[in-house]
Every structure is written in C-alpha cells, then in structure tokens.
C-alpha cells in the first residue's frame, strides 16, 4: 500500500495519531527532504528508513518505489510540510500507482492552503489553491489569466524573498481586492495581515507566507462614470493620486487613462488634489 501522509505545516505537535502509526509501520518513507523529516521522526521516536523523493528526482525515483510496492512493501510519501502533491512532490507516484492498478490512500492532516483560507476571514464557500507563482513575469501572467474573473477565493504560497514582489504582481493582475497575508502558520509568531491589494501592508518579512485573495465579486462599475468613480474615492478621503490608482485597478485599465480624466476634473475645479 502507498500512503500519502500529511505532516505538520509548522508546529510538530499537529500530527495525527494515524499518521504516526503509518510512519512507524511502513517499510520506507519517501521524503521531500530526509533531513527535515528526520526532525519529525526523531521527536516521535520513529526509526523507519527514509529515502529522498523531491521535485528533482521524483520521476526517476518513482520506478524503484513502484517495484517495492509490487513486491508487497508499504511506502509512505511525505513532503516537508502539509499534504504531498499540493505544491509538493507526490503526483508522479500517484499517476504510476493508478496506471499499474495498485492501491493508495491518503492520511489526513494539515494543508497550508486550507489553514490560510480559514485564517484569512475571506469567503470559504469556494476556493482554489494555486500555490507558488512562476518565476518569470510572462509565465505569471499566463498562469493567473484564467482566474481573473472567477468568483472563488484564491490562495497563493510565497517565500520570504518573494512576498513583496508577489503582492505587487497580484495587485497588477487582480486590482484592489481584499487580501490576507498569513505568516508562520501554527508557529509561535503566526500572524495575519488583512487589507487590500495595492495597500502598503505591514508585514514582517520572515518565514513562509500564504496570500489569500478575494474572488472576482467586485462590481463592474458600468453604472457609474469614471468621474463619479474618482470623486467617490476622493470624497472618501483618498488623495487624487491614490484615487487614480484605485480606479485604474478597479476597472483594469492603465493609470494614465484615468489620470487624464482626473487632470481634467481638477482643471475644472470639480476636485482638489489633497
């Protein structure tokens, strides 16, 4: 039997009794990072043999694991944190197991995307976990394009060196939507910063992050003119500069286009530049 085993996303106490039982009983644990998994196994006195199974060797190592399964051995697959296959290795062996007609099961546990979704305070009725954004901007744009107008909440993962860049990109892609940035979930310094994409969010740039973005439930603004839209933000206390940025984001148009309208309004004395 192949077991896909969820492991803690931070706090090592958050592991199920069944997961511990499986990790003790299997013949081999295929781990994303054997050194990282060794910390968990040591804490619970588990001496099961481990082997490396990560994104760089996932395809090449799958054959040997399948041979073991076919010979009657039990194998557990774990990632560094959370549920294998969710932005982590594991997919290749599942595909191979299904193709061979073998059996596998999932041992329940943590998933960073679900934790972040609930912590965010945003709509949990429908959501999509999209994981890490691609490195190149052109790939990023292609990646998020299908999700720009879906109504479900979107969950992204982000590393500490990417968090500011990722937030800036998501604002460019989705506009000024509600967002929650979850940091160090289940750990001592867990924090959630809520606001709007495009805002200057107060984030401690340490640890691992999940970014939760509201779905496309915003009005289309077809019923109001650009002038009324700008005036609404200015009357609400925004500077003209900020109002231009927000209107452009809301309408998914270039800021220069909105700026021309704002300049005309200012010249006519309809608004003032705070």
What are 206-255's pLDDT values in tens digits? 999 999 999 987 555 666 889 999 988 888 888 888 888 888 877 777 88
What helix, strand, coil percent values describe the chain, rounded to 5? 40, 20, 40
Quick one: pLDDT at residue 154? 97
Calpha distance 163→191 (Å, rounded): 14
pLDDT tier, 11 (very low <50, low <70, confident <90, very high otherwise): very high
Once rounded to an integer, what is the mean pLDDT over residues 44-70?
96
CATH number of 2-107: 3.40.1010.10
Instruction: Please return the burial class of 101, using the count of CB atoms within 10 Å of its CB with bins 0-12, 13-18 and 19+.
Output: exposed
Q: Could you give phi then psi for residue 21, rounded to 5 degrees?
A: -65, -45
Quick one: pLDDT at residue 89? 92
**Per-residue pLDDT tens for 165-179?**
999 999 999 998 999
pLDDT tier, 128 (very low <50, low <70, confident <90, very high otherwise): very high
Q: Could you give phi then psi for residue 217, rounded to 5 degrees?
A: -115, 10
The single residue listed with the structure tokens 């959370």 is 82
Architecture of domain 112-213: 2-Layer Sandwich (3.30)
Give the start-to-end residue ranges of the domains of the chain.
2-107, 112-213, 226-267
pLDDT at 32 over 60: yes
Cα separation of the two ends of the chain: 67
Report whether 122 contacts 217 (CB < 8 A). Answer: no
pTM, two decimal places: 0.75
Quick one: pLDDT at residue 222? 60
pLDDT at 274 over 80: no
pLDDT tier, 266 (very low <50, low <70, confident <90, very high otherwise): confident
Quick one: pLDDT at residue 187? 94
Quick one: pLDDT at residue 224? 83
The encoded tokens of residue 262 equal 């704002």
Calpha distance 164→75 (Å, rounded): 39
């Amino acid at each position: 039997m192949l077991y896909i085993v969820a492991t803690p996303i931070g706090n090592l106490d958050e592991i199920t009794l069944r997961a511990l039982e499986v990790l003790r009983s299997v013949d081999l644990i295929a781990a994303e990072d054997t050194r990282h998994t060794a910390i968990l196994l040591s804490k619970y006195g588990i001496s099961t043999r481990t082997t490396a199974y990560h994104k760089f060797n996932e395809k090449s190592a799958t054959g040997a694991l399948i041979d073991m399964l076919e010979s009657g051995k039990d194998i557990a697959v774990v990632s560094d944190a959370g549920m294998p296959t969710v932005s982590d290795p594991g997919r290749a062996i599942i595909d191979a197991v299904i193709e061979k007609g073998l059996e596998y099961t999932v041992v329940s546990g943590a998933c960073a995307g679900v934790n972040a979704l609930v912590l965010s305070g945003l709509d949990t009725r429908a959501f999509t976990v999209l994981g890490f954004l691609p490195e190149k901007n052109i790939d990023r744009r292609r990646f998020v394009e299908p999700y720009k107008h879906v109504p479900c909440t979107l969950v992204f993962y982000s590393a500490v060196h990417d968090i500011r860049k990722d937030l800036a990109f998501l604002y460019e892609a989705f506009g000024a939507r509600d967002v929650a940035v979850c940091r160090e979930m289940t750990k001592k310094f867990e924090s959630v910063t809520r606001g709007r994409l495009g805002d200057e969010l107060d984030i401690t740039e340490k640890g691992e992050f999940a970014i939760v973005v509201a779905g496309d439930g915003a009005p289309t603004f077809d019923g109001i003119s650009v002038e009324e839209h700008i005036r609404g933000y200015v009357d609400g206390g925004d500077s003209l500069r900020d109002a231009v940025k927000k209107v452009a984001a809301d309408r998914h148009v270039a800021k220069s286009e909105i700026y021309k309208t704002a300049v005309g309004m200012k010249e006519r004395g309809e608004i003032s530049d705070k």
